[in-house]
Chain A
Amino acid sequence: MNKQSGHLSEFQIAFRHFRRNRLAWTGVMILSLLYGGAVLADFLSPYSFKDENRNYSYAPPTSIHFFDNGRLAWPYVNGMKLSFDEYNKRVYQRDPAKHYPLQFLVKGEEYRFLGLFPCRRHFFGVEAPGRWYLLGADARGRDMFSRLLYGGRVSLTIGLMGAVIAFSLGLIIGGISGYYGGRLDNFLMRLCEMFMMVPGFYLLLALRAAVPDNFNSVQVYFSIVIILSFIGWAGLARIVRGMCLSLREREYVLAAKSLGLSDIRIILRHILPHTLSYSIFAVMLSIPGYILGESALSLIGLGIQDPYASWGNMLSDAMSIVRIKFAPWILSPAFLIFLTVVCFNVIGDALRDCLDPMLKAEGHRDG
């Protein structure tokens, strides 16, 4: 019997269901775009994340012109002239004398394409003295669009990595706890409760306090991953443990035991796979929490530090809210965070509907 003849595994059936859900599929597409943008950030972004120009502090998005003296022309941008109005506010005016046509594969700062070979071409941009701000500039005149792409590298991966680590920890600890039971179970569950007993954000702050100030950005990045997964594992571990308590009484576990398989093997190969359909969507739905955790930490200045971009620390500029009026584009990282969170939620919900028909029947989500 081959697989085409209707003999599908549980996950294949679930995947078919999932593909039929258009909303979730859109979510997958948007996320792929965001992740793709983050991976190809150096190529897609016209400028590097630390390419600053103090003359263009909070410069508005550059307008693109299609007509030159009333005649259709190749799209171009004009130079900008900085002046101050009577309240000493910066005003950027168009300087029609300077004319920079938009270009594809324009030469710019050197980077390593995908980390492999050096390259100077950026996907689009304008020639050097001109500046093109697709989404405006930040306080130091760095291009928001470029920084958003680079920031995605941090914000999008930190959540994923944190979730994967927390997920593995939760599965393993929950599995061990549920399988062995007794004193070990008691100890591990008390440990879990200890972590669940303090409000998450306080724990986040306390754990962050343990990270030395002299860490460089890569070290800070990984310590945030570890901190986030440290907070998240307990919830999953408790649920997995509950499932394992009943799973270990099943006959196939007894069979596996009498065959003389090691405990670790029984837990990893025979018990934990049964908890997988629950844990997959649980993890999917937990990823937004990690992304928000990183953003929150960076937002209050305890996360990724300045020249490096993350959506959270870019947003910290908007903490002084009067700036939002003069430069509303500094809120753009928040929209990307929101978009990512929505996508993960939509996908997680769809996965739950596919993988867990029981929950759907209970009416947790319909309509």
Chain B
Amino acid sequence: MLKYILKRFLVAVPMLLGIALLTFVLIRMTPGNYLDTVRLDPQFSQETIAYYEKLYQFDKPLLVQYIQWIKNLLRLELGYSFHYNVPVYRIIGSRLWNTFLLSLAGFLLTWVVAIPLGIWAALHRNQFIDRCIQFFSYVCFSLPSFFLAMLFLFWASQSGALPLGGMYSPGFESLKPWGQLTDILRHLVIPAMALSIGSIAWLQRIMRGNMLEVLGQQYILTARAKGLPENRVIYLHALRNAINPLITLLGYEFSSLLSGAALIEIICSWPGLGSLMLTAVRSKDIYLVMASMLMGGVMFIVGNLLADIGLAKADPRIRYE
């Protein structure tokens, strides 16, 4: 198992570097870099600019710059953010955590709601309640997440029940730990809901399909025929087999939430990696962009890997060697 994990990571490394190279070339392809903006600022002297230019080797060819970046990366040095005027690692850590928090919340919400809903719909197949669930899930599946986020924010602005975007209330520092936690959770509700409603609709449909398929199997008939109580048949025999294929989707689901989270972060002004990336791209803050890209990729890979491990744990037929 450990060997498998290591192998996955080793395969991922050149690809991540490839992505970083692509990003690097893309950003440097466009005319101008951040130093050009600085150059227009009379506060900076020519010497300072020349110093920075030399430090980051902006005068050298692209490939040399890229290799320099990789060398720095090996020393866990992600470069310097010109926009924020601090080393990149000082910003990116907390942002990474925030994005992870949002994706995780969306992820948990999706699974906690979608699985029971799918089971419920399958057990009431083609009845009124099932029809309702299917109709609403169709609508929700097609609702753009940014639209949902706007509607939720609007509702919050009207009712005042939840905070409007951001992650902390003013005066967050003065709260007690418990108060701080609830404050963050309250801020998390809207983005997490906007993020997960589409996935809930989608996952619910798959869960319902799986459940129906399993319920049609002969071993369910056998279980019923030998007189097991219906609860046992459904929750012990059917559920485990119906849920198994969904675990393959775990990784995919987490990764798509991660990608979707970027847009929600921007709309709900959640201080995550996605909104950081937008700022970085806008100001051509090259090292920040590359680091964000890299971190996004790493989170993606870790998500997929966790899903594969989960699958191996859940399904005894799967062995990674």
User: Which residues does A use to contact B, with CB under 8 Å?
Assistant: 190, 193-194, 197-203, 205-213, 288, 292, 295-296, 299-300, 302, 315, 318-319, 321-322, 324-325, 331, 334, 337-338, 341-342, 345, 362-367
Q: How far is the CB of A343 from chain B (nearest CB, A)?
A: 9
**0/1 per residue, B1-38, Cβ < 8 Å to A?**
00000000000100110110011001101110000000
B149 to chain A, nearest CB (A): 10
Nearest CB of A to B13, in Å:
11
CA distance A208 to B277 in the complex (A): 12
User: For the complex, is B48 an interface residue (Cβ under 8 Å from A)?
Assistant: no
Which residues from B are CB-within-8-Å of A205?
262, 277-278, 281
Contact yes or no, A321 B157, CB < 8 A: yes
Assembled-state Cα–Cα distance A337/B148 (Å): 12
In the assembled complex, how far is the CB of residue A187 from the closest CB belonging to chain B, in whole angstroms?
11
Given contacts A202-B259, A205-B281, A363-B209, contact A296 B146 (CB under 8 A): yes
Chain A residues with CB under 8 Å of B259's CB are: 199-202
Main SS at interface, chain B: helix
Q: Do B150 and A296 touch (CB < 8 A)?
A: no
Report chain B residues within 8 Å CB of A207: 26
Report which B residues bind A (CB closer than 8 A).
12, 15-16, 18-19, 22-23, 26-27, 29-31, 125-126, 130-131, 134, 138-139, 141-144, 146-147, 150, 153-154, 157-158, 164, 205-206, 209-210, 212-213, 255, 258-260, 262-263, 266-267, 273-274, 277-278, 281, 284, 289, 292-293, 296-297, 299-301
Q: Which 10 A-B pairs have the closest CB atoms?
A: A199-B259, A210-B26, A201-B262, A334-B147, A342-B142, A209-B281, A202-B296, A341-B142, A363-B209, A200-B259
A362–B208 CA distance with the chains assembled, in angstroms: 12
Determine the chain B residues whose CB is within 8 A of the CB of A342 once the complex forms: 138-139, 142
Most buried by B among A199, A292, A362: A199
Contact between A362 and B209 (Cβ–Cβ < 8 Å)?
yes
Chain A contacts of B281 at CB under 8 A? 205-206, 208-209, 302
Centre residue among A202, A295, A315 by max chain B CB count within 10 A: A202
Interface contact tally, CB-CB below 8 A: 137
Report the separation of the CA atoms of residues A213 and B278 in the bound assembly, to the nearest whole angstrom: 15
A348 to B267, alpha carbons, bound, how many Å? 29
Contact in complex: B130, A367 (CB < 8 Å): yes
Once the chains bind, are B29 and A210 in contact (CB under 8 Å)?
yes
Q: How far is the CA of A344 from the CA of B21 in the complex (A)?
A: 36
Given A363-B210, A367-B125, 10 other A-B contacts at CB below 8 A?
A: A199-B296, A206-B22, A206-B289, A210-B27, A300-B263, A302-B281, A321-B154, A331-B147, A341-B143, A367-B126
Most buried by A among B18, B126, B210, B281: B281
- The answer to whether B139 and A364 touch across the interface, beta carbons within 8 angstroms, is no
Alpha-carbon distance A338/B144, docked complex (angstroms):
7
CA distance A201 to B185 in the complex (A): 25
Most chain B CB inside 10 Å of its own CB: which residue of A193, A207, A209, A299: A209
By the criterion CB–CB under 8 Å, are A365 and B209 in contact? yes
**Whole-angstrom CA separation of A331 from B27 in the bound complex:** 34
Question: How long is the Cα–Cα vector from A245 to B299 in the complex, in angstroms?
Answer: 31
Q: Which residue of chain B has the shortest Cβ distance to A293 in the bound complex? A: B263
Secondary structure at chain A's binding surface: helix, strand, loop or mixed?
helix
Q: Please determine whether A202 and B301 come into contact, CB atoms closer than 8 angstroms.
A: no
Pick the contact of B297 from A197, A318, A337 — CB < 8 Å?
A: A197
Q: How far is the CB of A276 from chain B (nearest CB, A)?
A: 25
CB-based contact B266/A300 at 8 Å: yes
In chain B, what residue has the closest Cβ to A312? B146
Query: Which chain B residue shows the least CB distance to A190?
Result: B15
Contact of A319 among B18, B143, B150, B296 (CB under 8 A): B150
Q: Which single member of A194, A202, A288, A334 contacts B292 (CB below 8 Å)? A: A202
CB pair B15–A197 under 8 Å, yes or no, is: yes
Q: CB distance A324 to B274 under 8 Å?
A: no
Whether the pair B293, A212 counts as a contact (CB closer than 8 A) is no
* Assembly CA distance A324 to B149 (angstroms): 13
Chain A residue nearest to B99 (CB atoms) is A199
**Do A209 and B289 have beta carbons less than 8 Å apart?**
yes
Task: Let me know if A362 and B213 touch, CB within 8 A.
Answer: yes
Q: Is the CB of A202 within 8 A of B277?
A: yes
Partner of A209, one of B27, B147, B164: B27
Q: Are B19 and A334 in contact (CB under 8 A)?
A: no
